[in-house]
């Protein structure tokens, strides 16, 4: 059985279409009731097919078949005043009703075309972006951190299986894909092959492993960071292709443990995790010209807490980190306001 095409939701730039449709329906019903009232007030000038008078129900029926241009002819205006009212009031209302009906149909068709064109235009600019799989607490906080670090909303694509989460993402002016992030078709819809980074923040570790494995197969160069609930699954995510794995439950537990005896230290750690305020962490690349210098000199006097050399992370007090080499990355502390 063929898999359904992933649903893409882009941020809305205009009024809600449902609200506009409800307005049109209200106007149409108002026109129908208006014609019913006019016909009832002029009921002495109308006759049914048997030559008798008309009731309120007959007037409603007459207004219905008139406004929809059905016109069975079983109720007709016979007096001059009734015919004048039909010509000057009933007929213009009928035309207005048709305009509303045709306009709604045309707008519905145009909306589909507009949506298709927006999606096509969005895909042409989808490059070097970040995909966030999961719009729960972890995913939302990750996006907030990305935005605080300078990433634009236009360069973030959300994937989530929950339709409510997708709607929340579009309300936050983010493009979103409704589907399972472990599926190739869903990741392809998010432009995984052109992405530079993928954040795996789903709630289940098995889904995180499958998502990471599929994303790494589709994009061998992307930076993939994943969150795991259980420590025993950390190595699975790394083997699946994750560059970094965050143990969410363990990290929270460590902070809770530190807070008992060192509450102020926890405040500092929380400050470091809050991008754009207080003290932040950054990585600085060491060029060939700066090789051989002390890390603190390369960092312009900023405190250096670690030196990353290849796949190894060396603490600031490691003798090997006393001098830099070309290609090193310095993990520094800095204040954004400075």
For residue range 275-314, list pLDDT tens digits in order: 666 677 888 899 999 899 999 898 888 889 899 998 888 9
Report yes or no: 45 and 38 within 8 Å, Cβ to Cβ. no
pLDDT at 210: 95
pLDDT of amino acid 134: 94
The pTM of the full predicted model, rounded to 2 decimals, is 0.59
Dist CA 330 CA 305 (whole Å): 8
Summarize pLDDT for 95-105 with one digit per residue, the tens: 777 777 776 66
**So what's the pLDDT on residue 259?**
72
The pLDDT of residue 115: 67
Calpha distance 71→67 (Å, rounded): 9
pLDDT at site 180? 94
Position 21 scores a pLDDT of 65
pLDDT at 2: 45
Strands 329-334 and 304-309: antiparallel
Domains of the chain: 17-124 (1.10.287.70), 130-251 (3.40.50.720), 278-338 (3.30.70.1450)
Query: How far apart are the C-alpha atoms of 166 and 132, rounded to whole Å?
Result: 12
Residues of the chain with pLDDT under 50: 1-2
């Amino acid at each position: 059985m063929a898999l359904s095409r992933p649903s893409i939701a882009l941020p809305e730039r205009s009024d809600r279409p449902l609200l506009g449709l409800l307005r049109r329906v209200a106007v149409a019903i108002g026109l129908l009731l208006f014609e019913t009232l006019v016909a009832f007030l002029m009921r002495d000038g109308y006759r049914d097919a048997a030559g008798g008078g008309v009731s309120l129900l007959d007037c409603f029926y007459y207004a219905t078949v008139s406004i929809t241009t059905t016109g069975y002819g079983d109720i007709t205006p016979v007096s001059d005043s009734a015919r004048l009212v039909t010509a000057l009031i009933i007929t213009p209302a009928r035309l207005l009703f048709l305009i509303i009906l045709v306009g709604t149909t045309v707008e519905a068709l145009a909306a589909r075309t507009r949506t298709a064109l927006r999606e096509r235009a969005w895909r042409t600019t989808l490059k070097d972006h970040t995909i966030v799989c999961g719009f729960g607490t972890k995913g939302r906080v990750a996006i907030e951190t990305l935005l605080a670090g300078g990433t634009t909303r236009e360069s973030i694509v959300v994937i989530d299986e929950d339709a409510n989460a997708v709607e929340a993402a579009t309300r936050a002016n983010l493009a979103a894909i409704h589907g399972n992030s472990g599926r190739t078709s869903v990741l392809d819809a998010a432009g995984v092959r052109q992405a530079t980074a993928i954040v795996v923040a789903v709630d289940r570790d098995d889904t995180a492993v499958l998502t990471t494995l599929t994303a790494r197969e589709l994009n061998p160069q992307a930076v993939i960071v994943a969150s795991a609930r259980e420590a025993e699954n950390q190595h699975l995510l790394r083997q699946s292709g994750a560059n970094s794995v965050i143990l969410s439950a363990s990290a929270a537990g460590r902070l809770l443990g530190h807070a008992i005896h060192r509450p102020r230290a926890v405040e500092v750690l929380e400050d470091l995790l809050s991008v754009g305020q207080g003290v932040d962490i950054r990585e600085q690349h060491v060029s060939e010209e700066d090789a051989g210098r002390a890390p603190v000199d390369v960092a312009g006097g900023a405190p250096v807490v670690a030196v990353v050399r290849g796949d190894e992370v060396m603490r600031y007090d490691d003798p090997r980190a006393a001098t830099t080499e070309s290609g090193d990355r310095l993990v520094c502390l800095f204040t954004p306001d400075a």
